[in-house]
Structure formats: structure tokens, C-alpha cells
Structure 1
Amino acid sequence: MYLKHPALQTEHYTWDVNAVRSAIRAFENKRKNLVRNLILEPRPKRLQDTELYTQVLDAKIKAETLIRRHEFIAGVKGMSRKVSRSSNLGTKGSLMFSWECGKVGGRLKKKWRNYSEVTFGPGYDANEVEWETPLVNPLNPVVKKLFQPKHPDQMNFILIDPDEVNGKKCRRLGEGEDKFFNYRLSGYKVYVIGWTLSCTWDGKAEPGPVIQLDDGDNFILSDRFSVRLDTSRRTSWHCRVTYVLQSRNQFPDLNLEERNFAEPSLDVDI
């Protein structure tokens, strides 16, 4: 029954699928003699059968792990990709605005240096990164026309070539300048499954800050996230992106095709 599941009908997990098939074949070959061996045969024979039970149990765990990952990513593909916005009272009468989309709000499993492992239920695991822009001070319109702004107005979660970090596969924040708006991920292809964005806004609730996304699917199941910010008020922006590794979620029946986007400009806008 396990082997009929789409999660085990893929070349991406050959090792696990072969382990399941091998355990099933071994069990079928010895099934008629298992009970008799346990009752009648001497201890070495019973121990040999015990190894078979262990093999079958390990195969069952592998199969169920693949099936849970398949169910999780299938659920992400089928969920709403609509962005929801909310606001509530922040500090000193300011309003806290937040946006969210996709699968967010996982329970923390383990926190690493630059990212966290979260879970949405047994076997429904993902990673999260979060970062914050420096305090953004709006420029006078006249000054903005004459001079290049000192800060970008776009926030990005992007993949970079491992060669940029000497071939190392790692997760890291932008380096070099103190005022970075980008989170860089090196060496791993990912699927974004959810994101949240927030800021504290000094101004009226309506219309409030306005954000712009360039992707019609709001970057769900893409390998990046990019948002243009409203920098007309003094504030800092906080972003959290939830993602899974593509290598662990390549199920052909779900048609998770690779989507190519233009690289966002990481330079200050003119």
C-alpha cells in the first residue's frame, strides 16, 4: 500500500524507496516461517528474524516520512495565496501593520545561528529566516529628486552562488554594510511556503503603508521573495520567510516546476 503512494513513485528518493521495497521482499520471502521460527527454532534463528522486523520497521518509518512530506507540500500548493493585512496599536499611539501569506506560524523546534527549524505538525517541518531593516528616514521630495537615496526601498530574500562564499553551503545575512535590506541564502535551492512582513507606522490607519509584490502568486513555491516597501514614514521593516528545501520536496505528481525570476537589484535605487 505504501509503494502505491505518489511519494514513493519518484526517482528523487531512490535510496529510501529501494529500502522499502527490499524490506517488503524480505518479509514476503520469510513470512510463512516467521511464527514457526519464533516458537520452534533456536535463539540464533529468532534473532535473525528480529533483524527482519527491524528492517521492516525502518522501511515503514522511511515510507511514512516521505508520505508526510508529500502531504505537507501538497497542502501548501493547494492553499490560498492571498495576502492578508492587519493592524493593531503599537507603542506611543503608533500602529503596527503586518502582512502575511502562505504557511506561517510554525512552532519553533530548534534555533540555529542564522535560521530556525519550525514544525506545523508531525513530519510537517520547515525552516525560517527573519531579518530587519535599519530605521528608514523619508527624504524630502526635492532632495530625493536631486540626490540618490541612502537606502533601498526593496527587501529581498534571495539565493546566491556558493562561489561568493568560497563554495560553502551556508545561510548567512548580508555582509559588508551595516544597512542591508537583503537576506542571502547560499548553496540550497528552496521553495518559499510563507512569509510575514511588519512595521510600526506613524500615521492614520487608512490608507496606511502600501507594499508591492511583483509575483502574481506572491512568491509561494518560488525560490525567492521580494517586496517593495513604503518609505514615506520613519520606520523599520521586519520580515520572516518560511521555506523548505527543494531537494526534499521534489514530487513529480505535484508539478512543482522551477520558476525563474529576474534577479532583484541589490543596489540603492536612483
Structure 2
Amino acid sequence: MPARMPGTWQAQPIKIDGDCTDWPSPYPNYDAKAMVAYATSNDAENLYVTIQTGDPLTQIKILKQGMAVMIDTGGRKDASFVINYPLQNPDDLSELFAQNKDGGTSSHLSRQFDQKLQKSAEGCNQYSLDGFGPCNGGYMVSQSAPCGVRVTLRIDEYKQLVWEAVVPFKAILNKSNISAADAGKAISVCYAIKAFKAPSTKADNAATPMNNNMGGQTGMPGGRMNSMQMNSPGTVRASGGPNGHLYESTKTWKHFGLAWGK
């Protein structure tokens, strides 16, 4: 059984609006490899979950490749409930990187990066649920799922990507409210960030991801092509260089016990 942190009682409900000011500052947990800060809390009715990152490459991964937040109500690493948000975005990354005078690409982010990343974040308007029984399926972010799950993300004024969700205990524990008897009950949350496929080259990956466009269809919705989704069989994946973080998937687990503060 993984070591557990104590839970955090949420005296006032978190507003799921992409504003991190109702969370502790700074966030109490940080994963240096994934380059994300994260936090969880609960009241009697809901589990609250958030993640935050100011790292541009991590932001690109989340917005373009998608992220899954998984919950294991047994406190292990065997998640039964999955929130997929944002969903994978088929748009390529070329607009996020600067262009060289010769028309080639460089590893530098474009001067318009912030505006373009903001636009991408605003386009993350769908999510899906797995493991939630009759609540499974796809939803618009503007609506609450029938089981009460709600999600949102935004790029705030400090250029931080803030992701938030509320998950009613009724949806994962089959009861509307926890009680003092549930204090310390083991629970785990995992933040899984998906990497891009690395360029098909033995050279350093200073070349940007869109140079890896191989054409054809993928398993993307509608058959649209993501320029970093394909990789030739048997080729060497570059993992170093200035953009190496793009090609590393991460899973950040937090094991804790439910809090009781009444």
C-alpha cells in the first residue's frame, strides 16, 4: 500500500472556474518530472481536484495531446474512474513555434505563443467519463454530467494553466455524503499527461514536432491527422534537446486519506 498523505478538509466549496485563488498558494504538491503542481481536498459531498503548470511545453502537451485524471477509491494505483479532459486536439503545433528566415522551423516559441495557447485552451470544450456507469460518455464543459462531475481549465493572467474538477462522492462512493466514519479512508488521484511521439530521427530533436508530419490517418476523431502522432516502425525516437519534455508521458499519483472537518 503506498504511503498516504493526510487529506485536506474544504470548508468552503471550490468554484470550478479555472481560478486558482480558492486553492492554497503555492499548491502543496509538486512533481518535478511532470513539471506540475497539484492539490486535492474534500468536503462532505465532493472531492475537489486541481493541477497547475506554467511550463510551456507541459501546457502544449496537455492542450494538444490531452490529459486523464484517474481516481482509485481503494487508495492504490488501480483507478476505476477516469476523467478525460482535455481531449486530444488534432491541430498541429506549427503555429506555436517561430519560423526561421529560410522557412524552416526553430525550437523557439513564437512571439504570439501566449495568444495562440490561450485560443487553444478556450477550444477545450469537451470531456469524457469512463468508469462512472450510466454517467459514462462525452459532455460539453459548459454542462454538468448527470452524476454531477464538472471540469474546466484556463490560462490565467500569470500564464499558468489551471485545471479543476469536482467529483461528487455519490458518483464514486455510491453515497451522497461521507461522515466522520470515513475520515482517513484511502483514496488516490493520478494526473496522466500524454506525450507526443518523438521525431523519426537519430539527431537531437531541436527540430519542432511539425517536422514529423507523415500524412495519412490516425485514430483521431474524424480521421484528422496530428503531426506528432505518427512514427515509423523501427526508427529511433529522440528524447533529448530543448523540446525533449514534449516526448515524455508522465503519471503523477497522490495517495491520501479523506478529511473530515465537521
**TM bracket (short chain):** under 0.3
| Structure 1 or 2: more helix by fraction | 1
Per the normalisation by structure 1, the TM-score is 0.25
Per the normalisation by structure 2, the TM-score is 0.26
Larger radius of gyration: 1
